A and B are shown apart, each in its own frame.
Chain A
Amino acid sequence: MIGKRSMLQIAAVALLASTGWANAKTVCYVTAADSHAYATPANKALEARAKELGVEILSLSQDFDVQKGTEQLNTCVARKVDGIILWPLDPQAYIPGLARAQQANIPAILINSPMSDDAKPFIKSFTGPDVYEEGKLAADSLSKALGGKGSVVIIAGQAGNGTTIGRVSGFTDRLKETSADIKVLDTVNADFDQQKALVVSRDLITRFGDQISGVYANDDTMARGFIDAWKEANPSKAAPPIVGINGQKDAFESIRTNEMYSTIVQSPVEDGRLAIDTMAEIIDGKEVKDRLPIPLTVVTKDNVNAVEPAF
């Protein structure tokens, strides 16, 4: 961790040296909202990192109002900023604004959420969590816990939701890829809701009982639902290994007490930092990849005390 930070500092100093304090660059940051469990830490991290880089941030909050956001893009263009970081809340609506930015030679990137393919010509990069990758990491983690053999149940999020699709297909694809001897008994939707997860978990435990040798929940909240259902059914028996995603504080607690096997930290702080780091590189004239995922950390009992929970 320390090595990583000092590396970042060196990068920051190098960047400062190349751009110079005198002509500070301004980046327009059109964020989803000012106050939100995930967005606020991401905003703060982005602004703090920008300060380190000597980049000025013009922060505009959409307050989850897409129309406001499309108009704020115009403000960014009129302000003649050096770059735009957009947190899109709609797959299409920002395209004309992004096109205007492009006409004005202002580079734009997306943070956190994707837009439709139509937007691709107008953005330099998309930084944010890769939910498919999260599914793959979860598969590896559970496979390791089971020694590559077993039968598992998947407690998925909302049907049709992009995050759900990515996290489930990443998991199942990875199992096929590694030819692990792990069978998926059933996949059920619990809408990222603890109560719904509790109900579907009761059914799963009744149906499959001891056959369940592992559990994959699309997020930590639903993992909690399974843990509670298992405790009801088998008060004295230890639960099978459970893998969740998000890296919430209570999941860390469950890992410490052996109730959960692992979770994956998707950090809003990293989300914010990567966006401004990427924009700084673009302003500096460097080429960046069109898709930059934020670092994901698998947390098990081995490293639970060394990693910060996401929120």
Chain B
Amino acid sequence: MRLLVLASRYRVVIILGLTLVASALLVPGYLSASTLSLGLDRAATIGLIAIGLTVLLISGQIDLSGGAVFALAGIVSVILQREIGILPAAIVAILAGTLAGAINGALVVGLKVNSLVLTLATMLIFRSLAHWITNSQPVSGTDIMLSLALAKIYLDVFTIRSALFIILIVLLHFWLTRTIPGRNVFAVGSNPAAAKESGIASDRIVFLGFVFAGTLAGFAGVLQSLVTNTGSPVFGSELTVAVIAAVVVGGTRLEGGRGSALGTLGGVLTIGSLTIAMEFQSVPAYVQQVVSGLILILLVMLDRAVTTKGRAQGTRPALVRDDPITQGGKAWLGGKAWLGGKA
């Protein structure tokens, strides 16, 4: 049992390690600096959106509209290039992502609706907007040389995009673990009512979580559009699922209250290295999806095994909410108190 708990705790490290060892043994030419640099660059797109989603999931919410915001922000940044120049266009486009996130957040908090349903709706709306603005055609930017510069690899490992991702995720780690607002996100995710009672502005934190997620999706979209010199309404259409998978593999719970930045980093790297290993072996796309799905199921099962039996590890406040045993215990305590009263 202890072993299982340990395995659950360090599962990202184990899975990432297993993936890398298996790939290195089975896939010829896998272990090289170029695989690392290109893999990192590829993972950075998923990773930037995953940063935003990690915070949201910890606070007990979800955002499905990330892929659509990604496309929309990219399009805005490319279309505006001709009017106001590349840098201002990029800034406006990131702010468009922020605005999209604010809309999500305001609706979820204001209407008190389920974020899964709401962001499903806004996902459709943002995606359709992207098609509408562009007439469903990809639009080209003004400066292909900038794209080539952005795609450059520094120190044999980093592109600008992958370096930004690593820096941001480390910052997120410190914010979540070392600051009070960071800790409050966990409190809101574990038990919003209790968090409110103890003076934490739950609604504000949830709202800002959506704003943060939207901004990062927009940022990732702008980077993608600058790197490809293209804004396309179909960009990011399959991104959302990959992002959620990466965050969940990283140990963040969909129910909220638990998760970590470094776990997400591990999850993103796992998904990235797995995809590349399978592509190296020319594994068809549909088989890749099956493998990713199986890994997710395995993780959920491991999670289940540990949370139902491993009570000793009970550091998860979320258990208080969804574990029937705990609730039964409360009722029993109440009964005893009543009995005590009578005696």
Contacts and interface: CB of A to CB of B under 8 A. Distances in A.
Interface residues of B, number: 37
B227 A96 contact: yes
A59 B282 contact: yes
Interface in A165-208: none
Given A57-B282, A75-B280, A70 B228 contact: yes
Contact of A92 (B144, B151, B239, B279): B144
* Chain A interface category by residue count: 20 to 34
Given A60-B279, A75-B280, A67 B236 contact: yes
A213 B235 CA distance: 48
Interface string B225-246: 0011110101111110000000
Given A60-B282, A63-B285, A80-B29, A96 B150 contact: yes
Contacts of A71: 42, 45
B38 A75 contact: yes
Interface string A67-81: 110111011011110
Nearest to B238: A65
A34 B285 contact: yes
A97 B286 CA distance: 24
A116 B141 CA distance: 12
A78 B276 contact: yes
Contact of B229 (A60, A75, A92): A92
B280 A93 contact: no
B280 A79 contact: yes
Interface string B29-46: 100101101110110010
Nearest to B148: A99
Contacts of B224: 67
B24 to A, nearest CB: 14
B237 A100 contact: no
A79 B230 contact: no
A59 B38 CA distance: 18
Contacts of B128: none
| Pairs of residues from A and B, 3 with the lowest C-beta to C-beta distance, nearest first | A96-B151, A93-B230, A93-B228
12 contacts: A58-B280, A74-B41, A77-B34, A78-B34, A90-B232, A92-B138, A94-B228, A95-B229, A96-B229, A99-B148, A104-B34, A118-B144
Interface of B: 29, 32, 34-35, 37-39, 41-42, 45, 138, 140-141, 144, 147-148, 150-151, 224, 227-230, 232, 234-239, 276, 279-280, 282, 284-286
